[in-house]
Structure 1
């Protein structure tokens, strides 16, 4: 091999190796200081794409877990109010049982009616005041609520919670208090005579019941109660209807075949073809009537229906809450596994990287020393020039 001084191949080769070693050492320092194996796309293009996808999934699962927690909070808010609604309904039922006893006088029944009115008013207030972050839960305005409990946009990432059975506003409307029948005045009982015809509409089935009753001769009735007694003795009348006298001494005609009877001039008209009856629309119709034992029995049926509906709604909400808790546990496991997968791709193996750094550091020091030697290798030419 000849001796050249313009081109020092040994020095160039040493420098190239030293530059490569310095690059490797700089990358090792970057990975050790950041804790990431992939700091830019050039480090591992495919790994970066995969790890970013996993990162999106982990972030989505984190938010989905919070969403599920919010879902539990919503259910607990609604179910807590429904618990009080059920307590109120149980109290109304107790009062209906109490009203079914004829040992109650008119004032006792009025007191029962007053308390029930207050309780049903409270049901209305609960339906209006129960909300979560401004969303009404018990007023029937929303049939269901949707919760995002997954990281993706598919249907399996969503849970629907039904609020259909939790319509407390509807429950309050269904339990209005009033005379469960059509009210008619009997201004002059002694004038009652002939055949009376009654038409009462069943609110539950929308069926009108037309019944006739044959009454005695004029003058045989002395009081409104005697008119009611005469109607209740009539075979045709008592098979479908019941007559009673309300607190205002007016005749009340109601159904004894089930359903809720609505009074008034249009629905539940109480018409009369007999002498002595005056059509009245003053009677307030309602599902709950505590003025008679028969009305109290019908009220019991109506209240039991609502208690069952609330119990079902609470059971559905409890099941949904348990489902949310299961979702949260599953999300936690999925998040842990995806995080571990992303870490294996993107994070630095500190021990392995330290080995690489140590190697690069030693090679850098050796390369620097060898570059100095290579630069001195052509000094022998000077001896030829002396």
Structure 2
């Protein structure tokens, strides 16, 4: 800043230097303001607001994780939707089995008619196994259990799938999908060839062998009493399927709640990041008008300062 008597010296124009400094500062502020308006961001570099930049970066990272978690929830719901659909088809087969077994339990039928029904029931069992084999998502056979972790490598037990439904390590939901092939549905805890009828060897279930899902066998000697006993096993399988569908429904509901929560979290974190990072255009425009006025006054002041040394000529002329 010019001091008293500085205007009487011409080798160094202090007033002009002060005006140039002021103009340069205004021009710098104008450039920064224009960048904010052109990029839409209040913070374009860490030096603009180092603390804000750091906070916004963490928020951006969290939003990225939340967005992927939202995608994961959608994929998880797809898996459970596929499972539910196949469960429904298996249930339809079991209901048809129940009707056929009830028909065969009636003494109005002869052995030949029961034989036909037995063939139908065996075919329905094969269909259940095919449904289990063909219900696949990525590399998972969803309805055959985790047959890669048990000693016999059999298609039984259950498959546990852990879904990452949040951006933190602990944000997971585990879904247990029980095997629903013939071996799993009609396994009475016995060895291969376990009886499902009242007479030994009349109606049997072949438990899962390596790579298999079990099978139902109806001997030609099976009578009405055997089929009445078999009805009990079909009812047990239907009850088990109802429980499976209920469990899937509970997990689907949990995923829907998580989806809503994630959506709200994404919106809240995006809003927080926006308040830190994004330009307030109304404020930026007002600042732009202020800086333009300052630029004009600084330019005028610089021109006036450059003409200042001319006054010294009056001393010489005198």
Normalising TM by the smaller chain, what interval? 0.7 to 0.9
- 1:285-310 deviation digits (Å, cap 9, x = unpaired): 96766811221122111111111111
The answer for unaligned runs of 5 or more in structure 2 is 147-157, 192-196, 207-214
- 1:153-203 deviation digits (Å, cap 9, x = unpaired): 22xx11101112x4335346x37xxxxxxxxxxxxxxxxxxxxxxxxxxx6
Residue 130 of structure 2: which of 125, 144, 155 is its match? 125
2:292 is aligned with 1:361:
yes
Given that 1:21 and 1:363 are in contact with CA atoms closer than 8 Å, whether structure 2 keeps it comes out as yes
Q: What displacement does 1:205 show?
A: 6.3
Given that 2:204 and 2:218 are in contact with CA atoms closer than 8 Å, whether structure 1 keeps it comes out as no
Residue 329 of structure 1: which of 249, 254, 260 is its match? 260
User: More helix per residue: 1 or 2?
Assistant: 2
2:166 is aligned with 1:150:
yes
Partner-residue secondary structure (3-state), 2:101: helix
2:61 is aligned with 1:56:
yes
Structural mapping, 1:285-300, within 5 Å: 291-300=222-231
Given that 1:127 and 1:169 are in contact with CA atoms closer than 8 Å, whether structure 2 keeps it comes out as no
Provide the C-alpha distance between the structure 2 equivalents of 1:298 and 1:13, rounded to a whole number of angstroms.
105
2:35 is aligned with 1:30:
yes
Provide the C-alpha distance between the structure 2 equivalents of 1:125 and 1:382, rounded to a whole number of angstroms.
108
The answer for unaligned runs of 5 or more in structure 1 is 176-202, 207-240, 243-251, 264-284
Q: What displacement does 1:383 show?
A: 2.9
1:159 corresponding residue in structure 2: 173
RMSD: 2.4
Partner-residue secondary structure (3-state), 1:146: strand
2:244 is aligned with 1:313:
yes
Given that 2:182 and 2:216 are in contact with CA atoms closer than 8 Å, whether structure 1 keeps it comes out as no
2:152 corresponding residue in structure 1: none
Provide the C-alpha distance between the structure 2 equivalents of 1:103 and 1:143, rounded to a whole number of angstroms.
44
Provide the C-alpha distance between the structure 1 equivalents of 2:51 and 2:239, rounded to a whole number of angstroms.
59
Q: What displacement does 1:148 show?
A: 1.0
Q: In 2 relative to 1, CA 38–169 (structure 1 residues): closer, same or farther, beyond 3 Å?
A: farther
Provide the C-alpha distance between the structure 2 equivalents of 1:261 and 1:308, rounded to a whole number of angstroms.
20
2:255 is aligned with 1:341:
no
Provide the C-alpha distance between the structure 1 equivalents of 2:237 and 2:134, rounded to a whole number of angstroms.
20
Given that 1:288 and 1:295 are in contact with CA atoms closer than 8 Å, whether structure 2 keeps it comes out as no
1:11 corresponding residue in structure 2: 16
Given that 1:139 and 1:170 are in contact with CA atoms closer than 8 Å, whether structure 2 keeps it comes out as no
Mark the structure with the bigger radius of gyration: 1
Given that 1:124 and 1:168 are in contact with CA atoms closer than 8 Å, whether structure 2 keeps it comes out as yes
2:194 corresponding residue in structure 1: none
TM-score (norm 2): 0.84
Given that 1:123 and 1:168 are in contact with CA atoms closer than 8 Å, whether structure 2 keeps it comes out as yes
